[in-house]
Structure 1
Amino acid sequence: MSRIRGLFVTGTDTGVGKTLITAALAAALRAEGRNVGVWKPVQSGASIGSGDTDAERLLRGSGIDERPESVAPFSFEAPLTPLLAARAAGIEISLEAIAAGGLPLMERYESLLIEGAGGVAVPLTHDALVIDWIAALGTPVLIVARSSLGTINHTLLTGFMLRQRGIEVAGVVLNDGPGPAAALEADDPSIAGNASLIEQYSGMRVLGRFPRISPDRALNAKELAKLTRTIDLSPIRQALNIDELR
């Protein structure tokens, strides 16, 4: 498929906050008047209509008026890696079919924030990992990683794998995760130095830290957009190729 105008959001693992940060970035860019959409090519772990799917969270957080089925054309209930979740549903997916599912979104939006499933080495189809899908799209990548202990190893490995494939990394966003913000760095002193060490050893830019949010707190698009003030959005705009759209 031909290169699309978009930015792929991947994680160093599952549960690192990709959906929250993708939604917040979309909300912030749309607040600037940019026609940015969201796309979750494959999701698993809940059924659409439950309110718990990544697509539904993306739409709530970004304020985009779309049907979740349009944002996530391939959705599976089983909490498994996409390959196994699809097989459990009796479906065999391919990169071509996934690409076709996103064509309507590509036509409606100037640029797309594309949220992956788990990390770059997650099996997506019978013969492709998520990184193969990224390479096929031809988009730059934003890495979402935990702020806490262990993130240096996971982030460096993710960046190394992407660069081996010649995939551009727009930057890294560290996520403080859910829970109370009080005494965060006192509880985990590694957080204070993780960003600088990631930059030192990888050459990748850490664009900022996303603050902790209580899991019981439901934020609207306006509130989420404000939280991106801790993130340098310039490389994200550049990766999305939307600077000239202002």
Structure 2
Amino acid sequence: MTQNFFITSTGTEIGKTMVTATLGFQLRATGSSVNAIKPIISGIPASKNLAEDMIGTDTAAILDSLDLPLNRKEIDQTSPLRYKAPLAPSMAAKLEGKLLDYSEVLSICRAAINKNDTTLIEGVGGSFVPLTNDKLVADWIADLQIPSILVAGSYLGTISHTIATVDAMRIRGLPIRSIVISESGGEDHPDLNETAREIRQHTNLRTVLLPRINGDCPWRRAPNILSALENSE
């Protein structure tokens, strides 16, 4: 049975890629066939050495988690839509005199879906980031008709942001399989377990913890979070 998930979040720089890479790495360790893509990525300079430009990016993390090389072929398959400015896709594309082709985004995702036991599609920014003049990430999720894994941080204020995002997604009829709380950096934030308890209580969703791990390739040393994919129904 194939399973497909959209990895979204409550905002930008929250930890979507860490969650995507960790799930990809851990699924591979169970013997599952896994595909993961991040179709849209911004903040990528345009130069003749694409592989060098992509070092340290979200795309590189995803490829590493799947034990794939960082070369043009794999980069083009994982993140085919790349923009220079580190902005929302609608703004980044406009700066380059372009308009993101929403139908192309859907085609890329649908081509990737169902090729493996599990397909992970990582979004861009939060669930309500604009993609085009009239499309948001939430529309992208709805059109793919797959459940989401919602990534939240543990910073002060995350409880409100997470509850608001869950409510907004539910109003649109977007199923959320679970919430993964990716521990925020720094020391001045609330207790991770207490934050999870509050979010779980107010959303009635499975809440999985992903403590912050420093160093290279942290997804290789993360605790098991595969319960985030399990159907609680």
TM-score tier, shorter chain, comes to 0.7 to 0.9
CA distance, structure 2, for counterparts of residue 89 and residue 228 of structure 1: 41
Q: Which of 213, 219, 223 matches 1:228? A: 223
Residues 159 and 27 (structure 1), Cα distance of their counterparts in 2 relative to 1, 3 Å cut: same
Q: Counterpart amino acid of 2:213?
A: I
SS in structure 1 at match of 2:127: coil
2:141 alignment partner in structure 1: 134
The equivalent of 1:201 in structure 2 is 202
SS of the counterpart of 1:199?
A: helix
Of 17, 20, 23 in structure 1, the residue corresponding to residue 18 of structure 2 is 20
Distance 1:62 1:20, change over 3 A: farther
Deviation at residue 234 of structure 1 after TM alignment: 3.3
* Cα 1:108–1:64 shift into 2, 3 Å: farther
In structure 1, what is the Cα distance between the partners aligned to 2:11 and 2:106? 23
Cα shift at 1:36: 1.1
2: CA distance, partners of 1:12 / 1:130? 11
User: Quick one: distance in 1 between partners of 2:29 and 2:37?
Assistant: 18
**2:214 matched to 1:188?**
no
Equivalences for residues 165-180 of structure 1 within 5 A: 165-178=172-185
Distance in 1 between residues matched to 2:228 and 2:193, nearest whole Å:
23
Q: Distance in 2 between matches of 1:213 and 1:141?
A: 24
What TM-score does the superposition give when structure 2 sets the normalisation length? 0.86
1:59 and 2:66 equivalent?
no
- What does 1:115-134 correspond to in 2, within 5 Å? 115-134=122-141
Question: How many residues are aligned here?
Answer: 222
What's the secondary structure of 2:100's corresponding residue?
A: coil
The runs of at least 4 consecutive aligned structure 1 residues that moved more than 4 Å come to none
Distance 1:195 1:13, change over 3 A: same
Query: Does 1:212 pair with 2:219?
Result: no
Q: Provide the aligned C-alpha RMSD in A.
A: 2.2
1:171 to partner: Cα distance: 0.7
Question: Which residue does the alignment assign to 2:152?
Answer: 145
Counterpart of 2:30?
A: 32
What amino acid sits opposite 1:149 in the alignment?
Answer: L
Q: What is the distance in 2 between the residues matched to 1:107 and 1:120?
A: 23
Q: Unaligned stretches of 5+ in structure 1? A: 240-246
* 1:242 aligned residue: none
The question of whether the paired residues in 1 share the 8 Å contact of 2:154 and 2:189 is answered with no
TM-score when normalising by structure 1: 0.82
Cα distance 1:132–1:22, how it changes in 2: closer, same or farther (>3 A)? same
2:44 to 43, 46, 60: 46
In 1, distance between residues paired with 2:60 and 2:38?
10
For the residues of structure 1 that align with 2:3 and 2:192, how far apart are their CA atoms? 33
Show CA shifts across 1:86-131 (max 9, x none): 1222221232111222344336433311111111110012210000
Within 1, Cα distance between the matches of 2:155 and 2:228? 23
